[in-house]
Amino acid sequence: MSTAPEPPVRSDFIREIVAADRAAGKHGGRVVTRFPPEPNGYLHIGHAKSICLNFGIANEQPGGICHLRMDDTNPTTEDPEYVQAIQEDVRWLGFDWRDKMFFASDYFERLYDFAVVLIKKGLAYVDSLTADEMRRYRGTLTEPGQPSPHRTRSIEENLDLFRRMRAGEFADGTHVLRAKIDMASPNINLRDPVLYRIRHVAHYRTGTSWCMYPSYDFAHPLSDAIEGITHSICTLEFEDHRPLYDWVVEQCETPRRPQQIEFARLNVTFTVMSKRKLLDLVERKLVNGWDDPRLPTLKGLRRRGFTPEALRAFCEAIGVAKRDATVEMQLLEHFVREDLNKRAPRVMAVLRPLRLVIENYPDGQVEQLEAVNNPEDASAGTRRIPFSRVLYIDQEDFKEDPPKQFFRLAPGREVRLRYAYIITCIGVVKDPNTGEITELRCTYDPETKSGGAQAQRKVKATIHWVSAAHAVDAEIRLYENLLLTDPAKIPADQDWTQHLNPRSLERLPSCKVEPGLASIAPGTSVQFERVGYFCADPDSKPNQLVFNRTVTLKDAWAKLEKAQTPR
């Protein structure tokens, strides 16, 4: 398979390094990257940035390839369910690892051998301090650490102890294997980091073959080296692990020496990205599972109606750099709108129905009116929608006492019904007890039918509608920001969930949508004209459709209204 490399749309400091390395013949001119998630949670949009970067770079280079590797060195939190989900998400995003799917757990035996090499070189030792003691010996940010009393164990004793650790002779926490580097290093990562810890826990892939597991700092660089990774791209917090990364590949004398490069992770306003917080939301049932459309998980975004194209365009637009950055949610929304505007068929849906009767329209008459499916795409064609005497319009499109600049329906006013007629409101029916408006009485002008003689007449507004007798029932779920505050601005001593937006989900159970939608497949995106982009939810049933609002349309009136009513 020799697909031509894709030209990079824009460059960044990492692509510059890769290009320079390639030009200089470093790594034999090869470019091999990897995306190395730990299968202990679901992927989110921050991972998407990393996926787009790693696969993007590989795809741009002749012969370049990106591996998918499960960094599964901690059996206590990992699960095959996540492995499955991660693969689905990466594929859904549009990337292909071909046959390069790997597991760090497949390297356990080789990793063990590397550890033995280190011990034999006098560069690793078995320590028997408790976790607490080890912490005290480590020193602090400003004070050097002290050597463990076990630091001087003989190579023979270390070899023996390490073998017995593997054999299962010791309980959890009684011994660890540590690198022997420098307890006085100003870089705390170099103060004899732990390489192996005992955990009598079954691993989801290796079962009970092992009762000790390598740490990230040991397994990661070696996994990269084993796979021949050339550029090991990770986030900023690993920057001061790089000397350790280099030490491990150097001292283990691996034939290949990958190079670690760090970039700033993605933050997005009004949402959370940390695994801990996401898990918190799911476990405390503050959201409805990992695919809750309010979550920035890829599963959540997919269910919400975000497309892979939009996500990739977003990841490209945000760039790659080293400074901490928080991208505005509006940028993400911009890219879904841009994508869906080109592709989503237009349909009409009424979210909060208000009954409207056209007094001079013949009772029992039904017309099939022609409507354009997508003004941005002529090939999408047209469809027929039924029109009759009794309709529903959205409550928002009528005001008994319209404010300035409100162009829609009001007593005595006329508006166009999209693809239909111009109507005039001649009466308002109210519930005698509550005063609530229950029905609008209108007349229509038969000459103003769409495409007809008077159709060109200018009116201030066009509103959407559905025919009451023909409409299909639907539940529509509206979403807003998960948080009211940017997580970065929440004080650390505060429970961040206090800042959750109580209106992040609003269910509208009694919506009416046009009949053509009756058999829409879950996952399909449409535009509800004048309202927003929506995606059919898997909860949909034949006579009870469910839609998720992906994003609103830009709304000039909402902005005006907000400006007019100072709080």
**Span from 66-74, 87-95, 279-287, 510-518 in contact with RNA (CB under 7 A):** 66-74
User: If binding is defined by CB under 7 A, does position 489 make contact with RNA?
Assistant: no
User: If binding is defined by CB under 7 A, does position 497 make contact with RNA?
Assistant: no
User: If binding is defined by CB under 7 A, does position 407 make contact with RNA?
Assistant: yes
User: If binding is defined by CB under 7 A, does position 368 make contact with RNA?
Assistant: no
List the Cα angle 15/19/23 in 5-degree steps: 170
Instruction: Name the token pair of 204.
Output: 């989801």
Residues in 535-554 that interact with RNA by CB under 7 A: 553-554
Instruction: Name the token pair of 352.
Output: 């909060």
Q: Which of 362, 451, 542, 566 touches RNA by CB under 7 A?
A: 451
Q: At its nearest, how many Å lie between RNA and the CB of residue 90?
A: 16
Name residues whose C-beta falls within 8 Å of residue 495's C-beta, 6 or more positions apart in sequence. Answer: none
Q: At its nearest, how many Å lie between RNA and the CB of residue 225?
A: 16
Q: At its nearest, how many Å lie between RNA and the CB of residue 431?
A: 25
Provide the residue count of the chain. 567
Among 222, 263, 228, residue whose Cα is nearest residue 245: 222
Give yes or no for a contact between 240 and 189, defined as CB atoms under 8 angstroms apart. Answer: yes
Pairing type for strands 505-513 and 349-350 reads antiparallel
The residue type of 400 is: E
Q: At its nearest, how many Å lie between RNA and the CB of residue 434?
A: 26
**Span from 79-87, 124-132, 279-287, 296-304 in contact with RNA (CB under 7 A):** 124-132
Q: At its nearest, how many Å lie between RNA and the CB of residue 298?
A: 17
Which one, 81 or 172, has the nearer CB to RNA? 172
Give yes or no for a contact between 89 and 247, defined as CB atoms under 8 angstroms apart. Answer: no
Q: At its nearest, how many Å lie between RNA and the CB of residue 269?
A: 7
Instruction: Write down the residue that tokens 């995106």 correspond to.
Output: 525
User: If binding is defined by CB under 7 A, does position 187 make contact with RNA?
Assistant: yes
Instruction: Name the token pair of 325.
Output: 């950055």
Which one, 292 or 305, has the nearer CB to RNA? 305
**Span from 69-77, 160-168, 425-433, 501-509 in contact with RNA (CB under 7 A):** 69-77
Residues in 87-116 that interact with RNA by CB under 7 A: none
Per-residue interface string for the shown chain with RNA, residues 7-46, x marking contact by CB under 7 A? ----xxx--x-------------------x-x--------
User: If binding is defined by CB under 7 A, does position 411 make contact with RNA?
Assistant: no
User: If binding is defined by CB under 7 A, does position 408 make contact with RNA?
Assistant: yes
Q: At its nearest, how many Å lie between RNA and the CB of residue 388?
A: 17
Residues in 270-329 that interact with RNA by CB under 7 A: 317-328
Q: At its nearest, how many Å lie between RNA and the CB of residue 28?
A: 25
Q: Rounded to whole angstroms, how far apart are CA atoms 199 and 218?
A: 16
User: If binding is defined by CB under 7 A, does position 496 make contact with RNA?
Assistant: no
Q: Which of 54, 105, 189, 297 touches RNA by CB under 7 A?
A: 189
Catalytic residue among 265, 277, 343, 383: 265
Q: Which of 42, 56, 71, 281 touches RNA by CB under 7 A?
A: 71
* Pure H helices in 252-393: 275-283, 298-304, 308-318, 329-343
Alpha-carbon 539 to chain mean position: 20
Q: At its nearest, how many Å lie between RNA and the CB of residue 144?
A: 9
526, with CB counted inside 10 A (0-12, 13-18, 19+), is: buried
The count of other CB atoms within 10 Å of the CB of residue 563 is 9
Q: Rounded to whole angstroms, how far apart are CA atoms 105 and 445?
A: 74
Which one, 128 or 288, has the nearer CB to RNA? 128
Catalytic residue among 38, 60, 78, 475: 38
Assess whether 38 carries a catalytic annotation.
yes
**Span from 72-80, 465-473, 508-516, 535-543 in contact with RNA (CB under 7 A):** 72-80
User: If binding is defined by CB under 7 A, does position 203 make contact with RNA?
Assistant: no
Q: Which of 4, 141, 379, 521 touches RNA by CB under 7 A?
A: 141
User: If binding is defined by CB under 7 A, does position 198 make contact with RNA?
Assistant: yes
**Span from 56-64, 80-88, 200-208, 415-423 in contact with RNA (CB under 7 A):** 415-423
**Span from 43-51, 57-65, 280-288, 336-344 in contact with RNA (CB under 7 A):** 336-344
Catalytic residue among 275, 277, 399, 441: 275
User: If binding is defined by CB under 7 A, does position 204 make contact with RNA?
Assistant: no
Contacts of residues 249-257 at CB distance under 8 Å and 24 or more positions apart, as own/partner, are 249/221, 249/222, 249/224, 249/225, 251/118, 251/121, 251/123, 252/114, 252/117, 252/118, 252/222, 252/225, 253/117, 254/222, 254/225, 254/226, 255/225, 256/27, 256/225, 256/228, 256/229, 257/225
**Span from 87-95, 368-376, 382-390, 511-519 in contact with RNA (CB under 7 A):** 368-376
Pairing type for strands 382-387 and 422-430 reads unpaired
Give the C-alpha distances (Å, rounded to integers) separating 170 from 128, 133, 176, 211. 11, 18, 10, 9
Taking every pair of C-alpha atoms in the chain, what is the biggest distance, in angstroms?
101
Give yes or no for a contact between 190 and 139, defined as CB atoms under 8 angstroms apart. Answer: no
Cβ-count burial 142-168 (b if 16+ within 10 Å, e if not): eeebeebebeebeeeebeebbeebbee
User: If binding is defined by CB under 7 A, does position 246 make contact with RNA?
Assistant: no
The residues carrying an active-site annotation are 38, 265, 275
